[in-house]
A and B are shown apart, each in its own frame.
Chain A
């Protein structure tokens, strides 16, 4: 199955901060504009911090779960420390509509507190304008672990829009040409510009009209360059369920970071093995 990135969910991992109730001790460990952020937990918190810490969730061949490697464990320990430093209970961070899942801190929930959160796409600017225009905020690239040479502050792109060509498609070449047209052509640049979204073609993002006076557009384009595509499979939604649960188990302190990551890795590995064995048949 061939696929191409069609609409970049670019910026999956850059951080918006509105003031900061930071913990100085933690701020020393991770550097970046929002080092001691109450960064996004739930869905993408650990994944993003693992990639930023030089780790991966699984290998590119989709055969081995790697979120329990030292980079992942370190990232989870950091997140747990971060949460403990900020709130008495993890549930204080969760929002009612998702209850610990998905985007834990929503812009609409910012209210009077000082928060740092992660927004998952350039639409975050629009949301800020619409729902929280009164908030004075700044945007920074995703933080990296200052204690690790492997940590480059990369962010994981696990979403976005994909065009896929099924194996059984009648006219694969024509489909491929269509995908190239809709993603990398000049018209594709125009198309994403109309939506005020970044393009997977970096040159398109240099167009000053695209930023429309947004002072933080450079963070978006910079993040795109540091963005790592996470390979996906049909079992990705199930894997997601496993690693969401893993993160909740740690944050609700049902298990230690290492325990939760190892247990979840075992479960995820079983799923991947099962899928791979069926794929080979």
Chain B
């Protein structure tokens, strides 16, 4: 009895110390294994981010060093820059139209591909495949297809009596066309939705079927609530990516016609690498960073009203 008490007392004394050492060792190895990522984050994300914020307060024409100018860049941006407003509006248009379209399409495709049908692997591959195409290649191909005189799009539309449309050179069409082309990368969001759909317990559908729920009721009462965390993830990623739209316009329209497709990041690129105004471009970048930060924070803040983590 005495021996047993001794053992238990010793255990009680030693266990916290050993546990503490174990935890510290685990923490060390944890940080050790994620250190490449941490170094990458500091060197390639946090470092440039801080540098960019600093350069935003300077006049930095690259060939000579940065000169501190305080808020001058921001005064110009908000005071007299005609293209700042235009690029912001174009980007907002892209985000507002593209994000709901993209997510709806991705979810619809995921729902279709979540069914047990013959050739499912083929369909999944076929729909995902365009997402593997680099944006530049996709944009170049579509630029050729949309050529008003020689492109296949107008050629096929001509059979329906449609007169040739200047898809990329008309102010009305340039943005919608870019949004359309960007939807070809729907596969990535679709795959994530597909994974989310796969995690919805089958027994919920069985119970609903027994209760006589029709497919729409099953979708809105079971599927949609169950995948809200996945929807939130895709939404946040999509909003961030859409605010940073660049390559489509860079390749297809160069921001034209008459700035109709001058997106914000394209404008930053123009300031930085065509006008060599690194300070000004950095200030624009900081503003975009803040806009994205606010939108992301708002999405996360309001997510608690509609995202249901506890159900999965």
The distance in angstroms between the C-alpha atoms of A267 and B254, with both chains bound, is 22
Contact status B276-A99, CB under 8 Å: no
Question: Which of A77-85, A169-177, A237-245 is the interface stretch?
Answer: A237-245
The size class of the interface chain A forms with chain B is 20 to 34
Chain B residues bordering chain A, tally (CB within 8 A): 31
Question: What is the distance, in angstroms, from B261's C-beta to the closest C-beta of chain A?
Answer: 7
With known contacts A234-B61, A249-B258, A252-B258, A100–B275 Cβ distance under 8 A: no
Q: Which residues in chain A, 61-98, are within 8 Å of chain B measured between CB atoms? A: 89-92, 94-98
The distance in angstroms between the C-alpha atoms of A275 and B209, with both chains bound, is 73
The distance in angstroms between the C-alpha atoms of A94 and B257, with both chains bound, is 8
B114 within 8 Å of A by Cβ?
Answer: no
Contact status B143-A100, CB under 8 Å: no
Contact status A100-B147, CB under 8 Å: no
CB-CB < 8 A to B258: which residues of A?
Answer: 100, 245, 248-249, 252, 254
B274 within 8 Å of A by Cβ?
Answer: yes
B167 within 8 Å of A by Cβ?
Answer: yes
With known contacts A95-B169, A96-B167, A234–B256 Cβ distance under 8 A: no
The distance in angstroms between the C-alpha atoms of A217 and B256, with both chains bound, is 35
Contact status A99-B253, CB under 8 Å: yes
CB-CB < 8 A to B252: which residues of A?
Answer: 96-97, 99
With known contacts A91-B171, A96-B167, A101–B256 Cβ distance under 8 A: yes
CB-CB < 8 A to A234: which residues of B?
Answer: 61, 276
Contact status A111-B149, CB under 8 Å: yes
Total inter-chain residue pairs, C-beta < 8 Å? 77
B270 contact from A90, A95, A241, Cβ within 8 A: A241
B254 contact from A90, A98, A245, A249, Cβ within 8 A: A98
A207 within 8 Å of B by Cβ?
Answer: no
CB-CB < 8 A to A91: which residues of B?
Answer: 166, 169-171, 257
B interface majority secondary structure: loop
Contact status A99-B149, CB under 8 Å: no
A102 within 8 Å of B by Cβ?
Answer: yes
The distance in angstroms between the C-alpha atoms of A90 and B166, with both chains bound, is 10
The distance in angstroms between the C-alpha atoms of A158 and B120, with both chains bound, is 59
Contact status A109-B253, CB under 8 Å: no
B225 within 8 Å of A by Cβ?
Answer: no
B166 contact from A92, A101, A270, Cβ within 8 A: A92
Which of A99, A102, A249 is packed against the most chain B CB atoms within 10 Å? A99
Contact status A100-B149, CB under 8 Å: no
Contact status A94-B256, CB under 8 Å: yes
CB-CB < 8 A to B150: which residues of A?
Answer: 111
CB-nearest residue of chain A to B146:
A96
Contact status A245-B146, CB under 8 Å: no
B259 within 8 Å of A by Cβ?
Answer: yes
CB-CB < 8 A to A254: which residues of B?
Answer: 258
CB-CB < 8 A to B169: which residues of A?
Answer: 91-92, 94-96, 99-100
B174 within 8 Å of A by Cβ?
Answer: yes
A100 contact from B59, B80, B146, B256, Cβ within 8 A: B256
CB-nearest residue of chain B to A249:
B258
CB-CB < 8 A to B166: which residues of A?
Answer: 89, 91-92, 94
The distance in angstroms between the C-alpha atoms of A29 and B23, with both chains bound, is 88
The distance in angstroms between the C-alpha atoms of A276 and B231, with both chains bound, is 53
Question: What is the distance, in angstroms, from A190's C-beta to the closest C-beta of chain B?
Answer: 33
The distance in angstroms between the C-alpha atoms of A249 and B257, with both chains bound, is 10
Question: What is the distance, in angstroms, from B258's C-beta to the closest C-beta of chain A?
Answer: 4
The distance in angstroms between the C-alpha atoms of A96 and B143, with both chains bound, is 7
Interface readout for B172-190 with A: 1 if CB under 8 Å, 0 if not? 0010000000000000000
CB-nearest residue of chain A to B147:
A96
The distance in angstroms between the C-alpha atoms of A248 and B170, with both chains bound, is 12
CB-nearest residue of chain A to B166:
A91
CB-CB < 8 A to B130: which residues of A?
Answer: none
CB-nearest residue of chain A to B149:
A111
CB-nearest residue of chain B to A278:
B59
B168 within 8 Å of A by Cβ?
Answer: yes
Interface readout for A209-248 with B: 1 if CB under 8 Å, 0 if not? 0000000000000000000000000110110010001001
The distance in angstroms between the C-alpha atoms of A99 and B170, with both chains bound, is 8
The distance in angstroms between the C-alpha atoms of A92 and B166, with both chains bound, is 7
Contact status A99-B174, CB under 8 Å: yes
CB-CB < 8 A to B277: which residues of A?
Answer: 238
CB-CB < 8 A to B170: which residues of A?
Answer: 89, 91
Contact status A109-B149, CB under 8 Å: yes
Question: What is the distance, in angstroms, from A131's C-beta to the closest C-beta of chain B?
Answer: 13
CB-CB < 8 A to B254: which residues of A?
Answer: 97-99, 101-102
The distance in angstroms between the C-alpha atoms of A249 and B171, with both chains bound, is 12
The distance in angstroms between the C-alpha atoms of A238 and B171, with both chains bound, is 22
Question: What is the distance, in angstroms, from B63's C-beta to the closest C-beta of chain A?
Answer: 8
A-B contact pairs, 15 of them (CB 8 A): A92-B148, A92-B166, A95-B169, A96-B147, A99-B254, A99-B255, A100-B256, A100-B257, A100-B258, A109-B149, A241-B274, A245-B258, A245-B259, A248-B256, A252-B257
A94-B257, A100-B169, A101-B255 given. 16 additional CB < 8 A pairs?
A89-B170, A91-B170, A91-B171, A92-B148, A92-B166, A94-B256, A96-B167, A97-B143, A100-B258, A101-B254, A109-B149, A235-B275, A237-B275, A248-B258, A252-B258, A254-B258
4 tightest A-B CB contacts, nearest first: A99-B256, A100-B257, A94-B169, A248-B258
